[in-house]
């Protein structure tokens, strides 16, 4: 009597079968075949000589299931095949997972011998591993693409995930659980669905020399109206499209500008024309790049966190999944990019001094002070030599400008303003107030030297301090600022800070895009090889 084998939390009855041979031993020879008592499906052992040829990762997958075939169940195979078939919804490409080959082999599976079934099983396992990895942490490694990106490395025991999925016939669910769960990822996915509703259409480039204002008449307005109509911003049904920039078109332009993060003033200038000239295919590539990027980001942001989207020039403070306040920010220029990173707020510094960083010494301070030594007094900057002695501007040596330390005194017009927010990172960047408060009203806000300047920073300070153990009051904060002495307040409660980068999402049934300020989208899409 064959003994009963318990495996995969299912009951299997032992059977003895003879199998065909190819150049290797039959999978059944000297090994036990088992049968799934629930589905009456034969489950074949993986021969040792086959296991030995697998890489360590695949060996672990099979070891988790006692070195038997994994994909014996029709439902599990169907789930995997369907996930691969529709992976484009997550910005992936079915060709990367040998979809056509798998589809062909699946149609022939009933006629396969045991060894062919084992080979097919390994093919499925390899591609489960591949698509699971890509869904969880993306196809590419950000550290290999960007030297200034510091994201926490994501690891997941995928072999455990597959083992649990096979046992519970939940392959589809296991893959869905690997995807980013943040609402923004879902909004980016939604934008891909919305985009596909637009017809394929070849766009001719719109060229505008001068800004176009309301009531202007110019032939290019006809093309602009057609483009706005294509993107559903212009909803009027016209039998004849005139070259007049009328009030209906004015409203449509403002709607378009708002969706693209442009100043919604209705004036058609360079920024608006640039956004109008994006084709459907270019927007698709941009969305796919953003889906990849979000797979790199953390799956769990925590209960309290500051989330900054660099291209959107926005800061959101989130507590218990609710945005409790938001701020406009200024970020680094394209030549001095703000890095993408994750960290934790460590302390706030009121009335901070500002030590001029090396890049600004080289590119700003030295050239300006060489022309006029009054630069130091005008900007309240003190010069210190290596011994810590104050150096008079008249004895400052521009040829050795790097050998000095430059410190700006606290004031309302200090480069850091009235407060800065420190968090640990290797780039020496932080959040801070600014002496250029007019920058927040500009359309293009990639204007800093790398740090993030925050509008209304004292409101953000108040919120952070209220969450701190000491429960600071606004009056206490005001007293510190009015005394004009530098004071550092440690933040004991953990508040995560995320400086991230994404240029697309959806808002209801509307597509939303932002200018790719660091020109990352196109290069990322090309690197994906889709």
The pLDDT of residue 25:
54
Q: Tell me: the pLDDT tens digits for 125-161?
A: 999 999 999 999 999 999 999 999 999 988 887 888 8
Place of tokens 């640039």: 274
Q: Tell me: the pLDDT tens digits for 105-130?
A: 999 999 999 999 999 999 999 999 99
Report how far residue 343's alpha carbon sits from residue 496's, in angstroms, rounded to the nearest whole number. 6
**CA-based R_g, the chain, Å:** 30
Phi, psi angle pair for 432, to nearest 5°: -165, 165
Paired residues of 68 in beta bridges: 45
- Kind of pairing between the strands at 340-350 and 381-384: unpaired
Report how far residue 467's alpha carbon sits from residue 23's, in angstroms, rounded to the nearest whole number. 69
Per-block average pLDDT, block size 10, for the chain (530 residues)? 36 36 50 73 93 95 94 95 98 98 98 96 97 97 95 86 86 94 96 97 93 98 97 89 96 98 98 98 98 96 96 98 97 97 97 92 96 95 97 96 96 95 96 97 96 98 87 86 93 93 98 98 95
Whether residue 473 contacts residue 431, with contact meaning beta carbons closer than 8 Å, is answered with no
The pLDDT of residue 14:
32
Q: What is the pTM of this model?
A: 0.90
The pLDDT of residue 196:
97
Which residues, other chains included, contact 259 with Cβ-Cβ below 8 Å and sequence gap of 6+?
A: 233, 507, 510, 511, 512, 513
Which residues, other chains included, contact 243 with Cβ-Cβ below 8 Å and sequence gap of 6+?
A: 217, 218, 219, 220, 221, 222
Domain range summary for the chain, segments of one domain joined by +: 4-179, 297-353+411-530, 354-409
The pLDDT of residue 31:
59
Q: Tell me: the pLDDT tens digits for 256-309?
A: 999 999 999 999 999 999 999 999 999 999 999 999 999 999 999 999 999 999
The pLDDT of residue 4:
34
Superfamily of domain 297-353+411-530: L,D-transpeptidase catalytic domain-like (2.40.440.10)
Alpha-helical segments (H) within 442-484: 457-467, 474-483
The pLDDT of residue 16:
37
The pLDDT of residue 22:
52
Q: Just list the catalytic residues.
A: 432, 451
The pLDDT of residue 276:
98
Whether residue 427 contacts residue 147, with contact meaning beta carbons closer than 8 Å, is answered with no
For the chain, give the percent of residues with pLDDT over 70. 94
The pLDDT of residue 221:
98
Whether residue 243 contacts residue 217, with contact meaning beta carbons closer than 8 Å, is answered with yes
3-class secondary structure per residue, 344-406: EEEEEEECCCEECCHHHHHHHHHHHHHHCCHHHHHCCEEEECCCCCEECHHHCCHHHHHHCEE
């Amino acid at each position: 009597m064959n003994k009963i084998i318990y495996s995969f939390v299912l009951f299997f009855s032992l059977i003895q079968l003879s199998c065909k041979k190819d150049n290797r031993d039959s999978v059944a020879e000297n090994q036990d075949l088992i049968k799934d008592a629930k589905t009456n499906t034969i489950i074949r052992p993986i021969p040792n000589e086959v296991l030995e040829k697998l890489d360590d990762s695949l060996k672990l997958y099979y070891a988790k299931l006692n070195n038997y075939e994994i994909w014996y169940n029709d439902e599990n195979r169907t789930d995997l095949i369907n996930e691969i078939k529709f992976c484009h919804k997550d910005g992936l490409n079915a060709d990367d997972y040998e979809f056509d080959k798998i589809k062909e082999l699946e149609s022939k599976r009933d006629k396969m011998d045991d060894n062919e079934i084992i080979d097919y099983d390994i093919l499925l396992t390899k591609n489960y591993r591949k698509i699971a990895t890509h869904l969880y942490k993306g196809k590419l490694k950000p550290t290999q693409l960007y030297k200034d990106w510091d994201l926490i490395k994501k690891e997941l025991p995928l072999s455990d995930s597959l083992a649990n999925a096979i046992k519970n016939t939940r392959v589809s669910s296991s893959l869905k659980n690997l995807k980013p769960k943040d609402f923004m990822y879902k909004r980016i996915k939604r934008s891909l669905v919305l985009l596909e509703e637009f017809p394929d259409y070849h766009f001719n480039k719109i060229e505008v020399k001068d800004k176009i204002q309301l009531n202007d008449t110019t032939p290019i307005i006809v093309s602009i109206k057609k483009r706005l109509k294509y993107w559903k911003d212009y909803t009027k049904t016209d039998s004849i499209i005139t070259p007049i920039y009328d009030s209906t078109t004015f409203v449509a332009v403002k709607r378009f500008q708002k969706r693209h993060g442009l100043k919604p003033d209705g004036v058609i200038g360079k920024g608006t024309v640039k956004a109008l000239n994006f084709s459907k295919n270019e927007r698709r590539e941009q969305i796919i790049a953003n889906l990849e990027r979000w797979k790199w980001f953390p799956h769990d942001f925590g209960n309290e966190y500051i989330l900054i989207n660099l291209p959107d020039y926005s800061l959101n403070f989130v507590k218990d999944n609710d945005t409790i306040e938001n701020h406009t920010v200024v970020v680094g220029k394209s030549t001095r990019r703000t890095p993408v990173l994750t960290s934790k707020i460590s302390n706030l510094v009121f009335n901070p001094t500002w030590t001029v960083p090396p890049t600004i010494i080289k590119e700003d301070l030295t050239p300006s002070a060489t022309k006029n030594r009054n630069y130091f007094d005008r900007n309240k900057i003190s010069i210190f030599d290596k011994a810590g002695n104050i150096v008079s501007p008249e004895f400052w040596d521009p040829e050795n400008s790097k050998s000095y330390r430059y410190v700006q005194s606290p004031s309302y017009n200090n480069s850091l303003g009235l407060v800065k927010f420190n968090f640990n990172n290797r780039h020496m960047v932080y959040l801070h107030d600014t002496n250029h408060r007019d920058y927040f009203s500009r359309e293009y806000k990639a204007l800093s030297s790398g740090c993030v300047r925050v509008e209304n920073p004292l409101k953000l300070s108040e919120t952070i301090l209220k969450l701190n153990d000491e429960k600071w009051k606004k009056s206490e904060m005001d007293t510190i600022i009015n005394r004009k002495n530098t004071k550092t307040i440690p933040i004991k409660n953990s508040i995560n800070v995320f400086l991230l980068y994404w240029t697309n999402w959806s808002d209801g049934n509307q597509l939303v895009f932002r200018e790719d300020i660091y020109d990352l989208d196109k290069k990322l899409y090309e690197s994906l090889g889709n």
